[in-house]
Amino acid sequence: MTEIEPARPHKEAARITKMLDIVLGVDRFDRAPIDVAALAMEYSANVAPDGPIHCVEEADIPGCVGALICSAELPRQWAIMYNRGQSHGRRAFTIGHEFGHFVLHRRLIERDPEYELAIYCDEEAVVQRDGNGIEAEADTFAADLLMPLHDFRAQLPSRTRPDFGQLSNLAQRYGVSLTAAILRWLEYTETRAMLVVSNEGFAHWAKSSKSAFRSGRFLRTKNEVYELPSLATAVTRSFSEEARAGIPQGSGVWFSEPVVEMCLRSDRYDQELTLLHFERQHAWSDDEEPFADSFDRFNAK
């Protein structure tokens, strides 16, 4: 296997973010989200003029949500493809993910025979939830680029316990899906919270905030089947405005402590999103290292 320089997704995304803040202003998200397709083509034309991304197109790629492909001829010409039927927000994250592969991994893709001049990414790869290897790096790059933490945290402070309305507003601000916005918030919040994505009474996957995970509040869904509690809204299917705003669930329903459960149904993707806020919040201990996002780290150097 060809040796390639290790990728640095946080640093590369922060570099582009800083450039965009200088050119478009730090208040740019007040006007519009990133046009990530246009950015991918313009940026690649500047950093790799002999081998840029020449198109970002919708295509039929069964089993995949996105792909990054390069030509067999030299100099390489690149294309980003995204599968049909994705919502605007999911499409933006998919393009950001494939753009991340271009920035971070294009040498690997064109030189390593394993890839055959292309990388095809299924839904498991483009989900921003603890993936492995270069797929996790591309997800990190896309999240950092589309939802910079210095702006995200300014909109939603780390100790705030948001509802779906607040998180939906942020999804619109950054042009991403509600799921992507929730996952971004879970990265830095100091509150104890958890997102559960489910269908037909079973969890597909779940993600806890750092403080919730440290206090033992997480679900094992990898290679295991987790059946939702019988009183969970996703099971009772009482998808009311009250359930969306948050209902109390007592000790023993989800965990051995009370939670506020918020739930909504996505018919388009045939799944439910459940957001759990734990009533009792654990303070950070004095010896824990404060969280610093990639933008902070980049500018500190």
**CATH code of the domain in which 231 resides:** 3.30.450
With respect to residue 285, please indicate whether it lies within any of the assigned structural domains: no
- Per residue in 40-99, pLDDT (tens digit) is 999 999 999 999 999 999 999 999 999 999 999 999 999 999 999 999 999 999 999 999
Interior angle at CA 121, CA 187 and CA 145, nearest 5? 40
Same domain, 124 and 205: no
Tell me what the mean pLDDT of segment 268-289 comes to: 72
In the chain, the number of structural domains is: 2
Collapse the DSSP code of 172 into the 3-class scheme (helix H, G, I; strand E, B; otherwise coil) and give the result.
Answer: helix
- Flag whether pLDDT at 287 surpasses 50: no
With respect to residue 174, please indicate whether it lies within any of the assigned structural domains: no
**C-alpha to C-alpha distance for 255 and 104, rounded to whole angstroms:** 40
State the pLDDT confidence band at 298, using cuts at 50, 70 and 90.
very low
Domain that holds residue 116: 9-150
Same domain, 84 and 210: no
- Per residue in 197-240, pLDDT (tens digit) is 999 999 999 999 999 999 999 999 888 889 999 999 999 999 99
Name the DSSP letter for residue 190. S
Same domain, 87 and 22: yes
- Per residue in 253-273, pLDDT (tens digit) is 999 999 999 999 999 889 999
Same domain, 33 and 110: yes
With respect to residue 31, please indicate whether it lies within any of the assigned structural domains: yes
Query: Do 108 and 134 contact (CB within 8 A), yes or no?
Result: yes
With respect to residue 171, please indicate whether it lies within any of the assigned structural domains: no
Query: Do 172 and 140 contact (CB within 8 A), yes or no?
Result: no
Query: Do 200 and 225 contact (CB within 8 A), yes or no?
Result: no
Distances (CA, A) of 50 to 41, 102, 134, 140, 283: 13, 14, 24, 27, 52
- Flag whether pLDDT at 135 surpasses 80: yes
- Per residue in 146-158, pLDDT (tens digit) is 999 999 999 999 9
